[in-house]
Amino acid sequence: MGQQLKTSQATLLKFSIPVGLLLFCFVFLYFRYPLILRMRDFQLQAEQFQIKADAIRQKYTSHSPHETLLKLPVNEKNGQYYRFDEHLGEVRFTPEQPSGTPPTIVQSDVGFSFNEQRPTAFNFTGPHFSIHQGVLQLTTREEEYLVSEGDLALGWQKIGEIEFRIKVRGAENTPQSGREARFVWSKHTLAELKAMTHITITDPASVPSKMIHRNKMAWIKVSIKADDTFNLYRVNIQSAFTHHFNYGDKLRTFLFLPSNIPGDQVEIDFIRFVPKREKYSQAPYGQTYEVIDGEMRAVTYCNTPSELDYSVTIPTNSPRLKFGLGILENDDPVRFSVSISANTGHQEIFTEVVETNQNWRSFGLDLSAWANQKVSVIFRTDSEHNVAFWSNPLLFGSPPENFNVIVILEDALRADHLSTYGYHRLTSPIKDQCAQDGVVFEYAFSQATKTRPSCPSLMTSMYPTATGVWSPSDVLDNRYLTLAEIMRSQGFETVSFIQNGNAGPVVGLHQGFSQLFDNKIMKAKPQNIYGDLVFQWLQEHQAQNFFMYLHLIDPHGIYDPPPPFDTWYQEEGPGKTEVAVNHLRHDPAWMQKPTVEGRRLLYDGEIRHNDFHLEKFLAKLKSLNLLHNTLLIFVSDHGEHLGEHGFWEHCPPAYIQVLRTQLIMVYPKLFPRGLHVNQPVQLLDIMPTILDVAGITTRDLSLQGDSLVTLVQDQRPDYWQKRFIFCDEVMSYAGGRNKEDPEIWASVFFRDWHILRSREVPDMHVFNYVDDQQENNPLSCFMLDIFLKTYVTSFMRSIKESNMRVWRSIATDIESQVIHHDPEVTEHLKSLGYIN
């Protein structure tokens, strides 16, 4: 009996173990099946994502983006138009010299090079230097400068840049950052400085420190690399000269400190003053961008005297010819004229003499007398040897359909501090009204945490690792195709008004804009963006279809709203959670004891300040009858840490606070009113959406985002529900672009997951950003952790590598890019906290 019982128990045990295992597996799978499906969906979408990324790379490898641009069909909204600068290959150019003789182009090439026969064009104060094969080699000492000999007597107005090529090898135990080269100059000779200040100049190295503080010399600093590699630097010196010289002054003394770190080993190939005229010496005419009085314009330049003759057909419906005028140098007036040559004869229809390069002049001519005729339009410039600029010459008729696009970007604005997105303070009442007429995207994410990489992605619909703009010194290569370039080529007038230099020429985002007004003109107040200069432009261009980009700097730090927009701070008090004062990035000068609560209240006040002035802008659009024909887009370049997780401003780690942005689109002709979209979207989607609504074919364009039109119209719901959002944390590995990086930092948004992998946060985290909107509680389980550490890491790496292949295939010469520096832009970026 006992033996039988033992046998029965053994049999029961034998079957109960597998049954128990099956039951365990059933329960486990029952509760984990949704997670398994989610991970499987992730893998399937990752494969599709990789296929699309590879297709983008193939497009850029097989043909030039600009070749694709020329093949786009004529835009039906704009009708007949002719951009003269796009047809320079067809123009008949007539220089006023005998046949076969090129036009006179005045050049100068003043600088300093080194050879063994003549030791140097400089006096050098230190004994530790030598010259080998034309390269000056030295070891830096504190405040030891190279000093020019004699009287240079250079006309500063004609100098555009200083160019120098140096190699720096840092001394041991010296910092890797903070290196500077310094330029010092004066309109006085050393002998005159000595006589004026009664300083005994026995050592030229003492000149800068003794003279600068007496306003006898001026100086600028340029950040340099200590990478033991020759680097070529170009410094825009014109603005610095303007502050310290009067018209007619000469640059007489010049000093150069190649590194401010004593003990550095420096090799100098050359130092050269680059004349402004140099870039116009390569061809008698061409297309470029030129800045006059702070306003940049796309121009056709001509070395004078000369004539440009275009054969065109004048539009039928109310044809007009618009253009602007400017000149390079003041000492040679230029006579501009426009003539029409037709079957009925030759007629000069415009003439103007420009004597100064202090401002642009704009004109519009009625060509109705030649409507629908094929004629020659002749642009003539006459002077002795100047360079003349025809800015944005355009022939157009009334558009068949009125359609405009205005993108309004508010820097560092996070969505969850807008009342439009449910915030408890009424920070955006005017925008709330706009949202009632448009679409609010509840979860829109930036591709980067900083303006410098984010805006190029917005304007190209490409990830930062694909644009190559990762760090504060990177510039978008001119081979990339921007939204403004496409819109301009399709007949839209394009204009940019920016208050952050990181959204302009310094990062390569002037490409495609007919006019660009930068932070020197727009300053830092919202009433300047929503003000007279913009209103005047709208009034002058209301007869044309246009694309306008407005970039407001607020609520970017420093947080300091003017009264009465500081009311919340004044009424609720500064708060109790004190933080260290930071006058560079967050706190106004009057703030001595900042708090978490106080900073947030001031940040909210800046949002309300922006919104207040928006009302005046919308009223202007309405008064010009533009509002109902305009696609209006409100967006941010990134969000802002406001003390969450112990972080401030918009740096990595890329928690939702710094990636989630506003995105509101208003265009009642196409988009439903009052719609709130919950599927995650990204800034890369803005460019394809604009092109889609504008009726511009995108099939052959290389875009990594998607048009949101089908999402808004509730088409392809499964695609939108499962689509990836990928965000680069490029600022964390900006220095490793030319080598394989051991780590990959990025964020992926998939359904309601935010997968975060950051250099600033240990381990990889997953948040349910819908339920946990402050991202305080990361999800965790064994299966998910294994999945993240294996597949997701591999996926992030493959996307980054694929994007970098796109970048390498586009950028013209990655390894030898010139390092550009503009002291005025540098000071602006310092004021914003981008540069320490």
For 214-266, write each residue's pLDDT tens digit.
555 677 888 888 888 898 988 887 766 766 777 778 888 888 889 988 889 99
Higher pLDDT, 772 or 34: 772
81-105+281-396: CATH superfamily: Galactose-binding domain-like (2.60.120.260)
Distance CA 246, CA 252 (A): 14
Average pLDDT over residues 125-138: 76
Cβ atoms within 10 A of the Cβ of 647, count? 17
Q: Does 568 or 187 have the greater pLDDT score?
A: 568
Q: Is the pLDDT of residue 267 over 90?
A: yes
Task: Inform me whether the pLDDT recorded for 36 exceeds 80.
Answer: no
Q: Which residue has the tokens 């993108």?
A: 407
Instruction: Report the mean per-residue pLDDT for the chain.
Output: 85
Axis-axis angle for helices 686-693, 451-460 (nearest 10): 30
Q: Is 163 helix (H, G, I), strand (E, B) or coil?
A: strand
Asked if domains 81-105+281-396 and 110-278 share a fold, the reply is yes
- Per-residue model confidence as pLDDT tens digits over 466-476: 998 987 778 89
CA–CA separation, 92 and 570 (whole Å): 67
Confidence (pLDDT) at 63: 61
**pLDDT tens per residue, range 687-722:** 999 999 999 999 888 899 999 999 999 999 989 988
* pLDDT tens-digit map of 162-194: 899 999 998 777 776 678 898 888 888 877 877
Write down the pTM of the prediction.
0.88
Q: What percent of the chain stands above pLDDT 90?
A: 53
Confidence of residue 368 (pLDDT cuts 50, 70, 90): very high
Q: What is the pLDDT of residue 814?
A: 46
Rounded-to-integer distance, Cα 391 and Cα 297, Å? 6
Q: Where are the beta strands (DSSP E) in 523-597?
A: 546-552
Location of structure tokens 């080194």: 114
> Six-digit token pair at 357?
């390069």
3-state helix, strand, coil in the chain (%, to 5): 35, 25, 40
Low-confidence winner among 1-10, 97-106, 292-301 (lowest mean pLDDT)? 97-106
Q: Structure tokens of 291?
A: 């800045």
Q: What is the structure's pLDDT at 129?
A: 75
- 136 vs 683, higher pLDDT: 683
Whether the Cβ atoms of residue 194 and residue 201 lie closer than 8 Å to each other: yes
Q: Residue 420 pLDDT > 70, yes or no?
A: yes
The domain spans of the chain are 65-75+401-659+670-831, 81-105+281-396, 110-278
Q: What is the pLDDT of residue 31?
A: 44
In angstroms, how far is CA 173 from the centroid of its own chain? 35
pLDDT of 32 reads 47
Which pLDDT value is given to residue 616? 97
pLDDT in tens, 740-751: 555 688 999 999
The CATH class, in words, for 110-278 is mainly beta
Instruction: Decide: residue 734, CB within 10 A, 0-12 exposed, 13-18 middle, 19+ buried.
Output: middle
pLDDT range class, residue 831, cuts 50, 70, 90: low
Q: What is the pLDDT of residues 479-536, one digit of tens each?
A: 899 999 999 999 999 999 999 989 999 899 999 999 999 988 999 899 999 999 999 9
Distance CA 279, CA 260 (A): 31
* Residue 101 DSSP class: P
**What is the reported pLDDT for 816?**
45
**Could you report the per-residue pLDDT of 620-643, keeping only the tens digit for each?**
999 999 999 999 999 999 999 999
pLDDT at 65: 67
User: Is residue 827 very low, low, confident or very high in pLDDT (cuts 50, 70, 90)?
Assistant: low
Cα 686 to Cα 681: distance, rounded to the nearest angstrom = 9
SS3 per residue for 381-419: EECCCCEEEEEEEEEECCCCCCCEEEEEEECCCEHHHCH
What distances in angstroms separate CA 630 from CA 281, 531, 667, one per listed residue?
A: 42, 18, 7
Q: So what's the pLDDT on residue 214?
A: 53
CATH number of 65-75+401-659+670-831: 3.40.720.10
> Is residue 390's pLDDT more than 60?
yes
Structure tokens at 317: 């419906």
Confidence grade of residue 120 (pLDDT, cut at 50, 70, 90) = low
